[in-house]
Amino acid sequence: MPTVSPARPFDTPERAQFRDTVERFIETEIAPYANDWDEQGDFPWALHEKAGALGLFGFGIEESHGGLGFDDALMRFDCGVAMGYAGVGGVNASLFSRGIMTGPIQHLASEDQKRDALTAIVSGKAGGALAMTEPSGGSDLARLKTKAVRDHGDWLISGEKTFITGGMKAAWFVVGARTGGEGFGGVSLFLVPSDAPGFSRTAITNKMGWWASDTATLHFDECRVPASAQLGQEGACLLAIMDNFNYERLSLSAGCLGMARRCLDDAIGYAQQRETFGKPLIKHQAIRHKIADMSARIDALDAYLQMIAWRINRAREDGGPMPAAELAKVKVLASKTAEFCAGEAMQILGGAGYLRGCAVERIYREVKVMAIGGGSEEIMRDLAVKQMGL
């Protein structure tokens, strides 16, 4: 675990205990296998069930559907940091991407849908994925092309979704499809099971990173689902997934913080034992400056993120607005920090860092997706300024 002990002004005994549980889970169930799973491009489904049993998928989900019955952005933050620190983004992505689809089910689905899908997904017995991005684009979701039309009381969905994390193994999908006119107001959400007639999927196997994660292109060929598959009101897609995007940005940013901290710690560990020019690498000024720069950026990101997580909790308790501008800004800061620290750590490790099998090398390959998925850096900057009222 980290050599740098961060300040935790908002800690409680419950949060400390939760953090211990997550760190122990990672230490025993993930860390020893991280490299093998990444090389194999897969990991055992049992890990989903173990994480589910610990409640890691249960934030904001009712207890009656297997959830924790409460939410806590600071616990979500701790979980994200610990998973990022594990340095195996593919496992992290496949386990936790269900979190971006359970929210809309929790808020919009009927009791029957929740009993069928939510309980299984939250327990880790079944997988779930959010399917929004299409081959024609992911940033401008208001222009998505997948269509759903009514047919004898059912819906027929036609179109394609791509880059869907967890998509090859998921049993359930939350799918955005156009039921009305142009723009976001014409988009509705559907809960689609993987055995729906007209649904098929193809694996994407040539990713730069996240090798342990199953990623899919989904094909909807007049895919038939009952009228009850629609989540919430027709055309109410944007509102339904807004909250979700905020939590996704918090978790992705926390993951970046964990990745950056792992890079720093591994770089320090290597620089302490490696000797060049007759003294440990850590004693060379150029290396010390890298450590100082990495550490300062990590501390700043850590403090900013903890403050934002605290503000999310306050907003939830008071019914106030989410700190959406800060979440957009911090997501950019987080991916930039992870990218910087991965680059500097690779440099400190020298040739050793260039070899497959070490966390820094994996993180170096995996930082790029953090700047793209969950809202790219460009889109986040635009959103931040818009949320600032400008």
Ligand X SMILES: Cc1cc2nc3c(=O)[nH]c(=O)nc-3n(C[C@H](O)[C@H](O)[C@H](O)COP(=O)(O)OP(=O)(O)OC[C@H]3O[C@@H](n4cnc5c(N)ncnc54)[C@H](O)[C@@H]3O)c2cc1C
Give CA angle at 326 (209, 133), nearest 5°. 40
The one among 106, 194, 215, 217 contacting ligand X by CB under 6 A = 215
- Does 335 bind ligand X (CB under 6 A)? Our answer is no
Q: Which is nearer to ligand X, 135 or 350 (CB)?
A: 135
Residue carrying the six token digits 């008071």: 318
> Of residues 353-382, which lie at the interface with ligand X (CB under 6 A)?
369, 372-373, 376, 378-379
- Does 256 bind ligand X (CB under 6 A)? Our answer is no
- Does 54 bind ligand X (CB under 6 A)? Our answer is no
Give CA angle at 25 (82, 12), nearest 5°. 60
- Does 202 bind ligand X (CB under 6 A)? Our answer is no
The one among 106, 146, 165, 244 contacting ligand X by CB under 6 A = 165
Query: Is 199 within 8 Å of 131 (Cβ atoms)?
Result: no
- Does 120 bind ligand X (CB under 6 A)? Our answer is no
In angstroms and rounded to an integer, the radius of gyration of the C-alpha atoms of the chain is 21
Query: Is 154 within 8 Å of 224 (Cβ atoms)?
Result: yes
Q: Which residue is nearest to ligand X (CB)?
A: 138
Rounded CA-CA distance 242/97 in Å is: 16
In the complex, what is the shortest distance from the CB of residue 1 to ligand X, in angstroms, rounded to a whole number?
27
Q: Which is nearer to ligand X, 249 or 290 (CB)?
A: 249
The one among 18, 25, 96, 163 contacting ligand X by CB under 6 A = 163
Q: Which is nearer to ligand X, 215 or 246 (CB)?
A: 215
- Does 129 bind ligand X (CB under 6 A)? Our answer is yes
- Does 203 bind ligand X (CB under 6 A)? Our answer is no
Rounded CA-CA distance 204/213 in Å is: 10
The one among 131, 264, 334, 345 contacting ligand X by CB under 6 A = 131
Q: How many C-beta atoms lie closer than 10 Å to residue 254's C-beta?
A: 30
Task: Name 327's Cβ contacts closer than 8 Å, sequence gap at least 6.
Answer: 246, 249, 250, 253, 308
Rounded CA-CA distance 88/333 in Å is: 21
User: What residues line the site for ligand X (CB under 6 A)?
Assistant: 97, 129-133, 137-139, 163-165, 207, 210, 215, 369, 372-373, 376, 378-379
